[in-house]
Amino acid sequence: MKIKLSKVKIPKIYIYGIDVIKNFLFFTFYIIITLIAIAFIIAPSIKIFKKHQSYYFETKQTYLLAKSQYNQTLASLNQLKKQNAHILAAFRREFDVNNFKNFASAFMKIKKIQKDKTSVYKNDFIKTIYYIDANIKSPKNFYDFVDALKKYKYIIRVYFPIDFKKVNDSIDLRLKIEHYRLKNLKALKAEEKAH
């Protein structure tokens, strides 16, 4: 027994001029296609989205933790920079002999300053040696001078022992000092301008 589709007749029911059965079949067909699309296209996309979303939140959490640590480190670094601004500025300055003479004049009378040699110190600094011939009234003046160097605008290191010679009512002395500054001041200034 053969059934011919052309002989199967779909009843026609109209409501307000709309074929209800035909619309119902189209609606059913639309629902089936939508469910297939959800099953094969949208569901895997949602699964991939959830996977990437969890990765995003893990990455975001790691980023926020790293940012928090960075901000704490930056704050402590800025605080250290403020506390040590005098020392940082001193490492950036070139040695000025006349300024040094003016500073030392409160403690001693400088006869001569002789520059000896300049060398690199620990890869980042330049060390310059100076020999100073001076005259002081008492050894206390010399030790006051050494104490005052801590607040001076240059980084100066005094070498001991010092040669003291009594001459009449005063003392002649010869001392060796070293001046330290940053090796690459031009690069440092360029970096500061960039920030």
Q: What is the pLDDT of residue 186?
A: 56
Question: pLDDT-derived band of residue 140, with 50, 70 and 90 as boundaries?
Answer: confident
Instruction: Answer whether residue 5 shows pLDDT above 60.
Output: no
What average pLDDT does range 70-87 have in this prediction? 88
What average pLDDT does range 129-134 have in this prediction? 88
161 cis-preceded (ω within 30 degrees of 0)? yes
What average pLDDT does range 167-185 have in this prediction? 82
Question: pTM for the whole thing?
Answer: 0.55
Question: pLDDT-derived band of residue 185, with 50, 70 and 90 as boundaries?
Answer: low
| SS3 per-residue string spanning the chain | CCCCHHHCCCCCCEECCEEHHHHHHHHHHHHHHHHHHHHHHHHHHHHHHHHHHHHHHHHHHHHHHHHHHHHHHHHHHHHHHHHCHHHHHHHCCCCCHHHHHHHHCCCCEEEEEEEEEEEEECCCEEEEEEEEEEEECCHHHHHHHHHHHHHCCCEEEEEEEEEEEEECCEEEEEEEEEEEEECCHHHHHHHHHHC
- Which class would CATH give 94-189? alpha beta
Instruction: Answer whether residue 130 shows pLDDT above 70.
Output: yes
More confident: 102 or 6: 102
Q: What is the pLDDT of residue 75?
A: 94
